[in-house]
Amino acid sequence: MAEQKPAQSKTTMLLICFFIGSLGIHKMMMGYEDWWKRLVLTLLCLPVGIIYKWIDLIKILQGKLVMADGRDLV
């Protein structure tokens, strides 16, 4: 089993998601294994990546996007 990633700051995730969220970097930092799919979608069709970025931003603000193992952002 992989080592558990430390819980990320909500503010940090908001900033990373806002500036480079369409690449899925924030999902990688949160421990999700399928973050690379976002990168492929963005490279193939930029508007799709931008839409997912805004969805994740809203989820982070609402507290609904959590770490991959279920822990809340700190």
Sorted by sequence, the CB contacts under 8 Å of residue 5 that are 6+ apart come out as 29, 30, 31, 67, 68, 69
Answer yes or no: is pLDDT of 17 > 90: yes
What's this model's pTM, rounded to 2 decimal places? 0.87
User: What is the tens place of the pLDDT at every residue in 31-58?
Assistant: 999 888 888 988 999 898 899 999 999 9
In degrees, to the nearest 5, what angle opens at C-alpha 58 toward C-alphas 56 and 59? 60
What is d(CA 44, CA 37) in angstroms, rounded to the nearest whole number?
11
* pLDDT tens column, 57-70: 999 999 999 999 99
Say which DSSP state 74 is in: -
In this predicted structure, what is the pLDDT of residue 2?
Answer: 58
What burial class does residue 70 get, using C-beta atoms within 10 Å of its C-beta: 0-12 exposed, 13-18 middle, 19+ buried? exposed
